[in-house]
Amino acid sequence: MLILGISGPLFSGRHTAAKFLIDTFNFTEISLENLQTPFPYRDGHKYYLVLITSESDFAILNKYTFSYLIWIEAPTSIRFRRYKRINKTATLDDFLDLDEKIDAMLQYQAKSVIMNTKALADLARSLNRLDLLSRDLNRPTPDEYFLRISEIAAKRTNCMKQAVGAVVVKNGRLMSTGYNGTPFGAKNCNAGGCKRCNSLASEGTRLDECCCLHGELSAILMASDTDGGTLYTTLFPCLNCTKNLIHTGFKRVVYSKEYSAKDSIRLLNAIGIRADQVKPYQEKIIYPI
Ligand SMILES: [Zn+2]
Ligand SMILES: [Zn+2]
């Protein structure tokens, strides 16, 4: 289920984008009035779109959980040229007067901005990259869901050098969360508790002097049962965390950021533990390529 709001300034290509989505992906166009009555479901249709031109339009759309606003954008010079093709005698001032009627502040409400500066084929490619049909834009996949929780955990770090969060999941259930920092009861790293982290040691060096526990190990130690589980972590695990996760029976690792740890990869491969990279956040601004 998706209710896609399409907005953008004049001649940015809003209508062209809507037509493309209707023709190519079988989107059903609905009106704002439709959104103020019981939702007009059409049998077999999951994807709807509506043109949005003001904050009050957006307020109506935004009441729906599964709404998603995109903003189609192009520089004024390009949009004016497009306008001139239809209104040959029009001046730039005429165009700007009309353009002011579209609420430009709406772009800050958009979850994705598509730069439509080239040909129709480029706009179509950009819309394709939004991946509208293969996933629920507002509803994370289970992997994204747990990775996002580990990103929140990372924000609780007290380490001066790095923020890493991790969660342990078994049979789809969250078993524990963890983040990096000094052990319970010890002085926090960001209060001077770890000399190594406070002395600007470069990544991966002098680890034997480090008082900080890694986020992954912290989550592993807090879980009552890890056997057959999945470890979600914001950073690919170091060798020490890898040894620990193998020894505690994990079957899968999901991470978002790369970390050069060839020994970890080798060990995970040797044991047959899958490591999948998932990037939970899609790009906000999509440029034509
Ligand atoms: Zn630290
Ligand atoms: Zn580690």
Cα(170) to ligand 1 centroid in Å equals 28
pLDDT at residue 131, rounded to an integer = 80
- Is residue 260 predicted with pLDDT exceeding 80? yes
The arithmetic mean of pLDDT across residues 208-220, rounded, is 95
Do 232 and 252 touch, CB atoms closer than 8 A? no
The arithmetic mean of pLDDT across residues 65-84, rounded, is 94
- In this structure, which residues have their CB less than 5 angstroms from ion ligand 2? 214, 238, 241
What are the structure tokens assigned to 40, written together? 């007009």
- 11 or 43, which is more confident? 11
* Percent over 70 (pLDDT), the chain: 98
Please state, in angstroms and as integers, the Cα–Cα distance from residue 128 to each residue in 13, 114, 284, following that order: 15, 11, 14
pLDDT at residue 135, rounded to an integer = 67
The DSSP code for 206 is: S
Q: Quick count: other Cβ atoms within 10 Å of Cβ 282? A: 14
The arithmetic mean of pLDDT across residues 92-100, rounded, is 92
- 137 or 267, which is more confident? 267
Active-site annotation holds for 216 = yes
Q: Quick count: other Cβ atoms within 10 Å of Cβ 10? A: 19
- Rounded to 10 degrees, what is the CA torsion of 117, 120, 121, 125? 60
- 102 or 52, which is more confident? 52
Cα(229) to ligand 1 centroid in Å equals 27
Cα(178) to ligand 2 centroid in Å equals 12
Please state, in angstroms and as integers, the Cα–Cα distance from residue 232 to each residue in 12, 174, 211, 229, 279, following that order: 40, 10, 23, 10, 12
pLDDT at residue 272, rounded to an integer = 97
| 18: helix, strand or coil | helix
Find the ligand nearest to 180 CA. 1
- Is residue 282 predicted with pLDDT exceeding 80? no
Strand duo 28-29 + 67-73: pairing: unpaired
| 120: helix, strand or coil | helix
- Is residue 205 predicted with pLDDT exceeding 90? no
Find the ligand nearest to 263 CA. 2
Find the farthest-apart pair of alpha carbons in the chain and give their distance in angstroms, rounded. 75
Q: Around 39, how many Cα atoms within 13 Å sit in the side-chain half-sphere? A: 20
Cα(209) to ligand 1 centroid in Å equals 10
What element of type H or E holds 235?
A: strand 230-235
pLDDT (tens digit per residue) in 136-184: 777 888 999 999 999 999 999 999 999 999 999 999 999 999 999 999 9
- 127 or 136, which is more confident? 127
- Is residue 1 predicted with pLDDT exceeding 60? yes
- Amino acid letter, residue 209: E
For the chain, give the mean pLDDT: 92
The pTM score is 0.76
Looking at 55, 209, 216, 283, which residue is catalytic?
216
- Is residue 50 predicted with pLDDT exceeding 80? yes
- Is residue 45 predicted with pLDDT exceeding 90? no
